[in-house]
Every structure is written in C-alpha cells, then in structure tokens.
Copies of this chain bind each other. A is one copy, B any other.
Amino acid sequence: MSLDPVLSRIDSDLDAAIDRLMALLRIPSISTDPAYKAECDRAADWLVADLLSIGVDARKCPTPGHPMVMGHVAGDGPHVLFYGHYDVQPVDPLTLWHRDPFDPAIEETAKGRVIRARGASDDKGQLMTFVEACRAWKAVHGTMPCRITFFFEGEEESGSPSLIPFLRENADALKADLALICDTGLFEGRVPSIMTQLRGLLGEEIVLTGPDKDLHSGHYGGLARNPITVLARVLGNLHDDKGRIQVPHFYDGVLEVSSEMRAQWEALNFDHKDFLGDVGLSIPAGEADRTPLEMIWARPTAEVNGITGGYTGDGFKTVLPSRASAKVSFRLVGDQDPHAIRENFRAWVKAQLPADVKVDFHGHGASPASRMATDHPAFEAARRALGEEWADEAAFTGAGGSIPVAGYFKTILGMDTLLAGWAKDDDQIHSPNEKYDVESFHKGIRSWARILDAISR
C-alpha cells in the first residue's frame, strides 16, 4: 500500500481534523478533581464514537475511576498498541489564562499558528495525530497498514490508579508486538526524537498537625509549636548545599549515563541558557557536579509541587495554624525503587518532627524509571521515517518527565514501547495558556502515517 496518497489525504483533511480535535478539547476532562467526573466520561464517549466512525471496534471500559477506551482493528502488518490519555491537568490559576481553557481557538502568533486550550498538547492533540493518521489510511486504502489496538486512559494526570489492575485483567486484549505512545516532544522544538529513557515518579503528600485548632499567634506564639515552621525546616533540609537530596539511600539504583549515550547527548549541543531563559531563569539549580541535560534526563529530583498552611488570603491574619501540608514528588532514574524511597522519605520526615507534631502521609503514584530496548528493529525504522518528514535527522533521547505506562507495558505485557511526539518546550503543558502548534498537529499526523508504513514493511 502506498504512503503518498495517505500523506496527500492528511494535507487536504487538515481543517476537518482540527475541528475534530477542538470538539474533544471542549470537554473539561480534569481527572484529579472529582467535580469533573462526568466530563471525563463524556471524553471517553467521544473517543469511542470517533473510533467507531473509522471502523475500529471500540468500547468504553469501566474502572473504579475514570473509564478506559479500548478498540481493535484488523490489518496486515505487525500488531501495535497505541496508547494516549484523554484526561487533562487542572487549569488553576485561571486568572493567568488569556482565554477560557476549554474554549479552544486557533491563534496566530509570532511563531506560527497554534491551537490554544488545556489538553491541546498534553495529550488530546498528540493522541489525535495518531487517530487522524489511521483515519487517512483507512480513507485511502480501505484498511489499516498494521493490526492496531487503541488504548486510551483517563487517569494519567492523577496517578493512573486503575491502570495496573486494568492491564492485568485485559492482558490478552492489549498485548501486541510493540506499543506506540504519543506524549513526548521534539528536542528543542525541532529535532524529532524517540525517547529511550524516562524518569519515574513518586508522589507524597505530607500533612502536619500541631495544635488541634488554629490559635492566636499573640496568645500562643513562642510557646505553641507552629506546624508551618516545622514543615519549612523539613523541606528546607531536602537538599544539601550542593543540590544533593538528603533522604537516606535515595541514590541507591541511580545509574551513570553510558559513555556512548553521553557522546550522543553532547552532540545535541543543548543550550541550557536558552532553555532556562525561556522561563525567566538563568542558573542550573540541580547537583553542582552534573551537566544540565543530565539534571533533567538522568538524575533524580525532589520537588515541592505545592505547599499550604495558615492564612493565605488577602491582608494579614496573625494565626498560629493547626495544620500545614505539602505535596512532594520525586523523579526517579535507573533502578531506583519507588517503594523503598517512599518508606525512607517517611522515616526521614518523622525523625525530624517534635514529639507533639502529628504527621499523615498520602501516597500518590509510584512508578520506576523506564529504559527502552532500542535494538528492536522498529526503533531504527521509525527513526529513519521521521527523518523524511522533518528537517532534522531524528535522535534517540532521554526525558525528564514520567510516562509510567511505558514501564507497565514492559513489566505486565512484555512489550517494548516506541515513544514519539510532536510537542514543543513552549507548549506550556500543565501551565496556563497551553497550546499545540498547528505544525505539530499536521506534521505529527504525517509522521505517524510514515511510522506505520515503515513498521509494516
């Protein structure tokens, strides 16, 4: 089956493809907030209907949380499973958006046309690049180039609590020769990349309680324990002066970058001044003896993602608060064991608390880092195919973010995963004013058509 008419079809159908994406973007499927449960369900329904429209035998599969979408379609080539997620991040602070995050629009910017909406890039826009490639293939050839299983999750942004049980219960339906995931980006917004190592993620929420009610800081201050002060001391101890994380045994299982990989990364000429300059910073903040690319791809982190306690409204309230809490996450690399780190972190926090401060921990997700088997022949085939679509040769890279599902595909289903995506660093995913370049969407659809063609040969 010939590729060229498929690419032409993609070009002529682009406006209709954008309209379909916008319909999906209008659904506020925020998975972490229970108030949006029905909207997550509606996004799943939309995807089922869209897959059915291109001949995929699709259905919504209930879970204890948000539903999965699963679909199968026959084809001649190898069997691939494509994974994406239809849920999105919360949108606060809403005041920093210049338009309603769930009223998508095409905007003209100095860098070209963009689709502006929560989820435009992460991950609805990326997910739809694959669906649109399949739609074009089906329209032109009446069949697919590969046997394809579609698998869309609705809990990726909230720790994927239903994923592992679902993979175990549906292993027969989901197992394929290779998994494909579109949830990553172009290196420096330009170089097509296949990510071969991703950091894992461990989330911990700490809630400290001092006095059993909020107190007047005049009447009690100096005598009663302030849980914010205690929390600040603990979090202030998380890193030493050289940026090393102080939790005991934290670095167990961290692997050094191979000299081969290090050489490849050096060839990318990563400019950390530009990368940080784009977000108003200038100085690498990680371990003093590591290169910037190592800091984001190959070294573990501990970040405080949120903190709150006491009075945080306008003006001043001289309260000595009862509670203070923080959300802390760790990015993990190599063979670091998230469960061991969770235990060590909790013990380390407890050891720093005065006797009358109570602590509660709430765990959120625990996924190890992933490394892909780049000797699978599809990797090199896909890398060559991407080089034909984009101006730059494609590269194998690392990634700072976590895509835990790639690890589960390996451990539970025994599949390797090929991660490719078309997002850019300035897409502002997880932030106000998220966007996806129309170019990313268009060339992304063409890229998947090329990859499916290359894999099927």
Contact = CB atoms under 8 A, between A and B. Distances in A.
Interface in A83-129: 89-90, 92, 96
Nearest to A233: B236
A73 interface: no
A75 B321 CA distance: 45
A388 interface: no
Contacts of A319: 305-306, 430-431
Contacts of A159: 315-316
A224 B276 contact: yes
- In the A-B complex, the 4 residue pairs with the closest CB atoms: A218-B401, A236-B236, A32-B315, A212-B280
Nearest to A282: B356
A321 B93 CA distance: 11
B224 A279 contact: yes
Contacts of A356: 280-283
B296 A306 contact: no
Interface in A311-332: 311-321, 324-327, 329, 331
Interface string A426-438: 0011111000000
A289 interface: no
Count of this chain's copies in the oligomeric assembly: 2
A34 interface: yes
A221 interface: yes
Contact of A425 (B157, B219, B287): B219
A63 interface: no
Contacts of A400: 218-223
A354 to B, nearest CB: 6
Interface in A211-237: 211-226, 228-229, 231-237
A234 B226 CA distance: 16
A285 interface: yes
A217 B296 contact: no
Given A316-B205, A430-B319, A222 B286 contact: yes
A318 B212 contact: no
Nearest to A30: B315
Contact of A296 (B210, B223, B311, B324): B223
A170 interface: no
Nearest to A430: B216
Contact of A303 (B221, B304, B399, B429): B221
A308 interface: yes
Given A209-B280, A223-B292, A228-B326, 13 more contacts: A33-B313, A158-B316, A222-B331, A223-B272, A223-B286, A223-B296, A224-B276, A233-B236, A305-B316, A305-B320, A307-B324, A316-B327, A319-B431
Nearest to A365: B316
A239 interface: yes
A148 to B, nearest CB: 28
Contacts of A210: 280-281
Contacts of A300: 222
Contacts of A217: 301, 303, 305, 329, 331
A299 B364 contact: no
A280 B354 CA distance: 13
A219 to B, nearest CB: 5
A355 interface: yes
A170 to B, nearest CB: 25
